[in-house]
Amino acid sequence: MSAEPLLRVEDLKTQFFTDAGTVRAVDGISFEVYEGEIVGLVGESGAGKSVASMSLLRLIESPGEIVGGEITYKGETIFGLEEGPDGELREREDMLTNEEVRTRIRGNEIAVIFQDPMESLNPVFTVGSQLREFIELNRDLSNGAARQEAIDMLREVGIPDPEERYEEYPHQFSGGMRQRVLIAMALACEPSLIIADEPTTALDVTVEGQIIDLVDELQQKYDTSFIWVTHDMGVVAEICDRVNVMYLGEIVEQAPVDELFYDTKHPYTDALLDSMPRPDRTVEELDPITGVMPEAISPPSGCRFHPRCPDAREACKRIHPENREVARAEGYPHRAACIKHDVFGSDYEESAPLENGAGADQQLPASAVDSTSTSTSTSTSGESERTDGGEHDE
Amino acid sequence: MGLLRYTAFRVVQAIPVLIGITVITFILANLAPGDPVRLMLQGQEVDQEVIERVERQYGLDRPLHERYVTYMVNLLQGDLGHSIHRDRPVTDLLIQRAGPTLLLVISAYAFALVTAIPLGIIAATRRNEPTDHVSRIVALIGVSTPSFWIGIMLILIFAIQLGWLPSSGLVYPWRSPEHYGYSGYLELAFQTIRHLLLPMVALGTLQMATLMRVERTQMIESLQGEYVKLARAYGVPERTILRKHAFQVAQLPIITIVGLNLSTALGGAVLIEYVFNINGIGRLFLEAIQSLDYQLIMGITIVIGTMFVIGVIITDISYAYIDPRVTYGDRD
Ligand code: SF4
C-alpha cells in the first residue's frame, strides 16, 4: 500500500433536484484508489454507482449537482468546498475550473469506458477518426503520429487488421470489438485512472470473459488504475483488488476482494453474494427491484437497508450507520456500515428483531417486494440519528 | 460500387410507382364528368357529326385501354398530349412554366434551411429558456397558418403599406437585363431577389417551421447520446460537440423531411403563384382545372407525381451517401 492514493474521495454528495423532490443519488461516500489497483464499485442499478463515477469527472448534468465533499486527484482538487465569510459554502480557491477539468483531467488523466459499446461510438464517423480525435486532444502528438498511435492501440487491444478497420464505421464492428475500441481509446490517452462503467454488461458471457482477460493483461502492462463499476459480483471476484459495495447512494462495505468474499461484514453484501451461486446469474435478474431512484428521494430511516435486511432489528430503524472500520486486512481497512458490529456501540443486541429480519429467508426478492411501501412510510415519520455524533438525517 | 448499384436499384424500383401514377391519373381524368369536345365548344350548337369527327381526330372514340397505350407511347417520347383548349402541346406549356416554379420552390427551401437549422440548434441548446419558447410559438404559427394567407399579409404589409417590395410577378435571372430594361446584371440580380423575397418567405415559412422543430428535437436527442457523453468525458470542447459530434447525426432526418415535403411545397406553390401572380406550373394547374383542360391536368399531375418520386429517390440515395449505417441490401 503506497502512501498517497491516486484519487481520494471524501464524503461526496451528488444530488438531483427534480420536481418530485431531491434525489440523493450519492450520499456521502468516501473511498480511495491507489496506483495500479482495480477498485470495484458494486451495487444494484440505482445505487448511485454511475453518478458517483461521473462526479469524479465533474460530468453531472442539470438537474444534478455535486453538493458536498471533496475529490482530490494527484494533489489537485477536482471538487472541494469551504465555508465563506458569510457562512455559506463556496467552491474552494484551489478547485479546478471547468476548463481545467476538461483539459487537464478528462481523457488524459481519467478516461472512461462506458457500458454500451453500441451507443458510445458516433455512428457517422469512422472508428479511426474518433480514436484519433481523442488522442490528439489528450496527447501532444502530430496528426500522423496520432493516427499511427490509434492503429497501434487497435492492434494492442486485439483488433485484427487495424489499418483497414481504422477506416471502418462503428456499425461494421461487433459488440465485443466495439468495446475493444473503447478500451483502446481509454488507454491511448495514457491516463493514470480509467473508469469502466459496466463495460461488460452489454456483452455475452464469452465475450465478457475475453474483455476481462484483456483488461487484466493491459492493466498490468500499463499499470493503470481502474474504477470498475458493476452490479455483478462474479466480475468483481475476477478482476477487482478492492471493492466498495454501494446501496442507495452510500458505501455500505469496503474491503479487499478476498476479505469481502470470505469475511463479509454487511448483510447487503451477503445478500449480493448469495445471489450469485450461478455464474450466469446477475443481481438484477434475481432482484427485480423497481423504482429505486424514487427511493433515493425518501430513503428509509436509520439504516437504509433495514426494510430488506434479514438481520434487521428495532435499533436499525433509528440508527443511520456510517461506514466504519471494523477490521483490517492486507494493510487496508475493512469498513462496514452495520450496527451489528461492536465498534458502533449501539443497542443492536438488546433491541427486538424486525419482522422481515427474524427467520426470513436469505433471498432478496421476498423482502424486496414490500420494501418500497414500508420505506416511504417509515421515512416520512421516522427520525434517525447518525452514529457519527448524532447528526440528524434531513 | 455498392452505392452505384443501390442508386440504379432505387431508380428501377420507381418504375412501377410511376406507371401506377399514370394509370390512376389517366383513369380519373377520363372518368371525370364533362365531355371535352363540348367543353371546348363552350355551349355552341354543333352537329353531332362534327363532334364525332373531332373525337376521332383526338382518338376519343377508341376504348380506354387503347387510348392509355397510345398515351404512354407518346409519354415515353416526352409528349404529354395536346391541350385541346389551348391548342398547344402540353409538354411545351410545362417547359415554359417550369422555370418560375422551380425558382420559387428552390429559393423557399433555401430560405427554410438557412433559417431553420441555426434556429433549431439554438432552441435545442437553450431548452426551456425564453428563446426556446419563442421559437416554439413561431413554429406553431408557421405550421398552422396557410401559406396563401401569409402571402396576402406580406403583400399588405410590405408591398401596399410600406411599398418596399413588389407584390406580383417575378424577374427571371436567366433572362437578359435588356429584356427588363435594366442597366446590367447587378440590377437584374437585385430585382430578382426583390421580387422573390415575399413569395419565397410565404412558401418557405411552413417548411421553416417544420424543419426548425425537427432540427431541435434531433439535436436534443443527439446531444443526449452516449457518444456525446463519451466525447465530453474525453475533454472535447462543448463547441466541437455541438458543431461536429451532435450536429452530424442530427442532420439525417432533416434530409428525409426535405425530400418528403417536396410535394407539400409544390402544392403550396400552386396557391402562392396565384397570390403573387407568378406564371408557374401551379397557376397553370389552376387554370387547367378551371377550364377542365384534361390533357393539361393529366400532364401536370404526372409531372408532379414524378417529381415526388424523384424526391424520395434522391432522399434515399443521399441518406445512403451520408449515413454509413445504411446498407444497400448486399452485405460484405
Ligand atoms: S444496520 Fe441493521 S438493518 Fe442495517 S445492515 Fe446492519 S443489521 Fe441490517
Whether A311 is covered by a domain: the verdict is yes
| Three-state secondary structure call for residue A301 | coil
Whether A187 is covered by a domain: the verdict is no
Placement of cell 486527484 in the chain? A73
B188: pLDDT strictly greater than 60:
yes
Minimum CA–CA partner of A58 in chain B: B233
pLDDT digits (tens, 9 = 90+) for A87-145: 788 888 888 888 888 888 998 899 999 887 788 898 888 999 999 999 988 888 888 88
Measured over the CA atoms of residue A358, residue A363, residue A364 and residue A366, the dihedral's sign is negative
A375: pLDDT strictly greater than 70:
no
pLDDT digits (tens, 9 = 90+) for A337-359: 999 898 888 888 888 887 764 44
| Mean pLDDT value of segment B22-37 | 75
Does A337 sit in the ligand 1 pocket, CB within 6 Å?
Answer: no
Q: In the 8-state DSSP scheme, what is residue A392?
A: B
Which of B125, B222, B230, B248 to mutate to test binding with chain A, by most A CBs within 10 Å of its CB?
Answer: B230
A147: cell is 493516427
Point out the residue among A108, A119, A126 whose CB comes nearest to the CB of B225. Answer: A119
Interface check for A106 against chain B (CB to CB < 8 A): the answer is: yes
The widest CA-to-CA distance across chain B, in whole angstroms, is 88
Provide DSSP, A164-193: HHHTS-GGGS-HHHHHHHHHHHHHHT--SE
CA distance A307 to A367: 7
Cβ neighbours of A106 in B, within 8 Å: 232-235
| Interface ipTM | 0.80
B293: cell is 383542360
Interface check for A133 against chain B (CB to CB < 8 A): the answer is: yes
pLDDT-derived band at A374 (thresholds 50, 70, 90) equals very low
pLDDT-derived band at A370 (thresholds 50, 70, 90) equals very low
Q: Which long-range contacts (CB under 8 A, 24 or more apart) does A358-365 make?
A: A360/A310, A361/A310, A362/A270, A362/A271, A362/A274, A362/A310, A363/A274, A363/A275, A363/A286, A364/A271, A364/A274, A364/A275, A364/A286, A364/A287, A364/A308, A365/A286, A365/A287, A365/A288
Contact B325 A111 (CB under 8 A): no
Residue B82 has what pLDDT? 79
Interface check for B116 against chain A (CB to CB < 8 A): the answer is: no
DSSP alpha helices (H): ranges in A254-300?
A: 257-262, 267-274, 283-286, 292-297
Residue A40 has what pLDDT? 94
Q: Choose from A251-265, A347-361, B46-60 the range with maximum mean pLDDT.
A: A251-265
Which of B232, B234, B319 to mutate to test binding with chain A, by most A CBs within 10 Å of its CB?
Answer: B234
Residue A276 has what pLDDT? 66
Residue B42 has what pLDDT? 62
Contact A137 B225 (CB under 8 A): no
| Mean pLDDT value of segment A173-190 | 89
Q: pTM for the full model?
A: 0.76
Does A317 sit in the ligand 1 pocket, CB within 6 Å?
Answer: no
pLDDT-derived band at B330 (thresholds 50, 70, 90) equals very low
Interface check for A108 against chain B (CB to CB < 8 A): the answer is: yes
Interface check for A193 against chain B (CB to CB < 8 A): the answer is: no
| Mean pLDDT value of segment B226-234 | 90
pLDDT-derived band at A376 (thresholds 50, 70, 90) equals very low
Q: How far is the CA of A33 from the centre of ligand 1 (A)?
A: 27
B316: cell is 434515399
pLDDT digits (tens, 9 = 90+) for B86-138: 888 888 888 888 888 888 888 998 999 999 988 888 888 888 888 888 888 88
Does A306 sit in the ligand 1 pocket, CB within 6 Å?
Answer: yes
| Mean pLDDT value of segment A152-181 | 89
Cβ neighbours of A59 in B, within 8 Å: 229, 232-233
Whether A288 is covered by a domain: the verdict is no
Sequence ranges of chain B with CATH classification 1.10.3720.10: 91-290
Placement of cell 407568378 in the chain? B278
Contact B323 A189 (CB under 8 A): no
Minimum CA–CA partner of A119 in chain B: B226
Minimum CA–CA partner of B325 in chain A: A171
Residue type, A190: E
Range of the domain at A320: 294-386
Domain count, chain A: 1
Whether A367 is covered by a domain: the verdict is yes
Least confident of B16-20, B206-210, B327-331: B327-331
| Mean pLDDT value of segment A165-175 | 89
Contact B235 A133 (CB under 8 A): no
Integer CA distances (angstroms), A35 to A38, B207, B252, in order: 9, 57, 45
Interface check for B230 against chain A (CB to CB < 8 A): the answer is: yes
pLDDT digits (tens, 9 = 90+) for A27-57: 999 999 999 899 999 988 778 888 999 999 9
- The CATH architecture one would assign to domain B91-290 is Orthogonal Bundle (1.10)
pLDDT higher for A285 or A26?
Answer: A26
Does A33 sit in the ligand 1 pocket, CB within 6 Å?
Answer: no
Least confident of A374-378, B144-148, B178-182: A374-378
